[in-house]
Amino acid sequence: MVAITDVLDSVAREARIGTPASWLTDEDEDYELIAKNFLREVAEELLARLDLPQPISQQTVITGDGTEDYDLPTNFLRLQRDATAVYETTTTRRAGVPISDDGVWTHIKQVGTAGGARFYRIRGYDGAFEIDFYDTPGSNVSITVHYVSKNWMVSSGGTYGSEFTDPDDILLIPRRPVELGILWRYRRDKGLFYDDIKSEFEAYVTRLINDSRQIKSISFANDPTPDAKVMRVPVPDYIPDT
């Protein structure tokens, strides 16, 4: 990990603007753009695109109590992009089925389903997200939720956050894409050529996505036997009335 001030100093040198005495108090327009605007924009973009490991990505365990909705942690940003981001930690070990449409959610609740799937949806807003389940989990059911938090820095005292407020704050995101992301935004703001820097940024992000999700991963989804028997085809979760 690296201090955020070291990252900003590197950006300033590459931008040929020198470094300020303090990134937090200097009122020069360029320094304020870099430290207060572009840093936050790049961090938020990377969190939106990458499922980075802990401590950025985290998990929470929900214990059923017979109700439909449950609070998610206040640092929740989004679910990890994984088919098993939400799954039961009971003996069934079944993955949750995401529902993103309110109409589908209402329909499922009114009509019901066949099969053993447990459906869920995310709703709410920053700092107050909730997760709903159907059917409602009882007291003997626990459900694990893997998510990406909105925290991209940590203070010297170990407090995680999403705002740069102290010279000793540490960056949790990989350094180089942050530098490139700030730099191409700065060059664009100044009317300078920035396509090469942005292309390098995108290439770096693509490599990180491949390393974390596509390359070096194992999938159990493909059946190695092309002549699989009919009995291996699962029963659908919902069978409409005839």
Average pLDDT, the chain: 87
- Answer whether residue 152 shows pLDDT above 50: yes
What's the confidence (pLDDT) of residue 21?
A: 94
- Answer whether residue 110 shows pLDDT above 90: no
- Answer whether residue 231 shows pLDDT above 50: no
What's the confidence (pLDDT) of residue 87?
A: 93
What is the average per-residue pLDDT within 174-198? 97
What is the average per-residue pLDDT within 140-166? 95
- Answer whether residue 60 shows pLDDT above 60: yes
* Residue 114 vs residues 99, 138, 184: alpha-carbon distances, Å: 16, 18, 52
What's the confidence (pLDDT) of residue 112?
A: 77
DSSP 232: G
- Residues 6+ positions from 45 with CB-CB distance below 8 Å: 181
- Residues 6+ positions from 138 with CB-CB distance below 8 Å: 64, 66
What's the confidence (pLDDT) of residue 216?
A: 45
What's the confidence (pLDDT) of residue 227?
A: 47
What's the confidence (pLDDT) of residue 114?
A: 62
Residues in the chain: 242
pTM for the whole structure: 0.82
What's the confidence (pLDDT) of residue 33?
A: 96
Better-scored residue on pLDDT, 118 or 153: 153
- Answer whether residue 241 shows pLDDT above 50: yes
What is the average per-residue pLDDT within 130-145? 92
Q: Which two tokens stand for residue 90?
A: 């009971």
C-beta atoms surrounding 89 within 10 Å: 13
pLDDT digit string, tens, across residues 14-23: 999 999 999 9
DSSP 95: B
Which of 211, 209, 213, 205 lies closest to 83, judged by CA?
213
What is the average per-residue pLDDT within 62-85? 94
- Answer whether residue 24 shows pLDDT above 80: yes
